[in-house]
Amino acid sequence: MKRNIFFIPLILLLSCHNKDIQQEETNTEVQTPVTVTSISLGSMEDYAELNATSAFLQKWDVKANITGYLQTANVQLNQHVSKGEILYTIKTKEAESIGNTISILDSAFKFSGINKIPATAGGFISQVNHQAGDYVQEGEPLAVITDSRSFVFLLDMPYELRPFVMNKRSLEMILPDGEKLNGLISGTMPGMDSASQTQKVILKVNAPHFLPENLIAKVKVVKSEKNNTASLPKSALLTDETQSEFWVMKMIDSSTAVKLPVTKGIETGDKVEILSPSFSPNDKIIITGNFGLPDTAKVKIVQH
């Protein structure tokens, strides 16, 4: 009986100690570490970045005008030629035989049977298919002449961006090495890619030096532009699974953040426009640690 009386105070002491621990845990609130930012004012652009590929629109084939052997070939890659310049001479087997027979009968009669093949247009030789001594068929391509004056960039334009492209006179292009060129819009190609639904826009350039074919340039097409508009980093904006609602976590005191619905506008690389509500420069918006926070959360600012 005395043993039971001894244990009763000990049980009461332990019970009170456990209650104190539970009360301390209840009073200790979990604070999520976060970083914050404030609203910024400035200009913003809503734009699309497209590719433009360099090309020569006009090319001509130099073709054999008869079947026979090429006697001479005055062609080299990248060689500039003029319209009417003789590029090849060709002679048939029959002309060779007849010429030898006539020469035996009358040495004073000169018969060569050699045909000349001139350049059909001016430009530079971009492809050589045959050289002297080759046997070729009539109509066979011997070389390709490219008109250097037909150099353009072809912009791959999604058709939905047509109103933002065709209402301009020129577009700025940025080459892979950072060089900037001004491309004058001179028209569109009649066809359209059925898979991507893109149409090629012809951009004429006045380059200060030679540019190769198939060079890809970046073109920024501005769809809208706003000045002195409010924006936040994209990391500050939270949304639901369907991306139909957007909100931010705003600090209402030094350790409490609340959920605040917002209406967003245009987006750029790392910023998003905030149409409503209106924020003051002193408002603090969470940019890291905000994911998964409840409507009202206790937080700890670790960096301003």
pLDDT tens figures, 144-194: 999 988 999 999 999 999 999 998 999 999 999 999 999 999 999 999 999
Whether 22 shows a pLDDT value over 60: the answer reads no
Question: What's CA 286's distance to the chain center, in Å?
Answer: 32
Q: Report the chain's mean pLDDT, rounded to a whole number.
A: 85
Confidence of residue 92 (pLDDT cuts 50, 70, 90): confident
- Mean pLDDT throughout 186-212? 92
What is residue 20's predicted lDDT score, i.e. its pLDDT? 52
Whether 78 shows a pLDDT value over 70: the answer reads yes
What is residue 288's predicted lDDT score, i.e. its pLDDT? 92
Residue 298: which residues within 8 A CB-CB, separation 6 or more?
Answer: 29, 30, 31, 32, 255, 256
Model pTM?
0.65
- Residue 202 corresponds to which amino acid? I
Domain limits, CATH 2.40.50.100, in the chain? 62-146
The arrangement of secondary structure in 48-56+149-226, i.e. its CATH architecture, is Beta Barrel (2.40)
What is the CATH number assigned to the segment(s) 32-45+227-303? Answer: 2.40.420.20
Residue 132: which residues within 8 A CB-CB, separation 6 or more?
Answer: 70, 71, 72, 73
Fold of 62-146: OB fold (Dihydrolipoamide Acetyltransferase, E2P) (2.40.50)
How far is the C-alpha of 235 from the C-alpha of 233, rounded, in Å? 5
**Cα–Cα–Cα angle for 237, 299, 242, rounded to 5 degrees:** 30
Q: Is 198 exposed, middle or buried (0-12, 13-18, 19+ CB in 10 A)?
A: middle
- Mean pLDDT throughout 70-74? 92
What is residue 1's predicted lDDT score, i.e. its pLDDT? 47
Whether 269 shows a pLDDT value over 50: the answer reads yes
What is residue 112's predicted lDDT score, i.e. its pLDDT? 58
What is residue 49's predicted lDDT score, i.e. its pLDDT? 92
Structure token digits, residue 267:
């987006």
CB 250 within 8 A of CB 283: yes
Domain limits, CATH 2.40.30.170, in the chain? 48-56+149-226
Residue 149: which residues within 8 A CB-CB, separation 6 or more?
Answer: 58, 123
Whether 26 shows a pLDDT value over 50: the answer reads no
The residues with which 80 forms a beta bridge, in sequence order, are 124
Question: What's CA 175's distance to the chain center, in Å?
Answer: 11
Domain limits, CATH 2.40.420.20, in the chain? 32-45+227-303
How far is the C-alpha of 256 from the C-alpha of 297, rounded, in Å? 6
What is residue 29's predicted lDDT score, i.e. its pLDDT? 67
Q: What residue has token string 């066979």?
A: 140
What is residue 97's predicted lDDT score, i.e. its pLDDT? 63
Residue 277: which residues within 8 A CB-CB, separation 6 or more?
Answer: 260, 262
